[in-house]
Amino acid sequence: MKRKLTLLGACLLLVAACSSVPQQKVSVAPAPEAPEPGNLPPQTLEPSECGLFLWTQGTPRRFIFFSRAASGHATAMLEAGKQNELTLAAQRGDLFGQFMTEMDYAMSGGGAVFLHLTPGESVEGGQKISSGRIELLDAGGWSTIIPVVGLRACQPDPE
């Protein structure tokens, strides 16, 4: 009986000690403001050259991404007034035309851009991108998702 009381007392002391440990609060820095996409200038393709053109899905539509097929580079305006040159780092998924449905780009100055595209119906000289998203990962580790639509198009050879 004495042993049971000693064990019960020890358990009560242990519970009391655990409940008096102060809780530590973890502070998390607030998320930065989401960037407002800008508009890229018009892009032209040479005869027999193909490109990927992406616009924001929301209103107003903004032309924010362009890549020439097989170049390994892209130009993006994911933040108003700040044009970024991107370098293709990886690609996977399904092939549609000269592009893949998933492409990862490295940004100069840090950060990354991930494209996830859903090809739509074929059109003369190309194919619509019915939906997709651009994920912008900044140097601080914050991620911004931009819904996009677009077009994969090729400039025909002159006849």
pLDDT per position as a tens digit, 130-145: 999 999 998 788 899 9
Q: What tokens does 68 get? A: 């020439």
Count of beta carbons in the 10 Å neighbourhood of residue 40: 18
Q: What tokens does 69 get? A: 């097929």
pTM value surpassing 0.85: no
Name the least confident of 30-39, 66-75, 80-89, 107-116: 30-39
69 vs 64: CA distance, rounded Å: 17
Chain position carrying tokens 């539509």: 61
What are the pLDDT digits (tens) for 44-103?
Answer: 999 999 999 999 998 899 999 999 999 999 999 988 788 999 999 999 999 999 999 999
Burial class (CB in 10 A: 0-12, 13-18, 19+), 15: exposed
* Res. 146: pLDDT tops 90: yes
The closest alpha carbon to 145, from 133, 128, 158, 159, belongs to 133
Mean per-residue pLDDT of the chain: 85
Residues in contact with 55: Cβ distance below 8 Å, sequence separation at least 6, in sequence order: 61, 62, 63, 64, 148, 149, 150
CATH of domain 50-154: 2.40.128
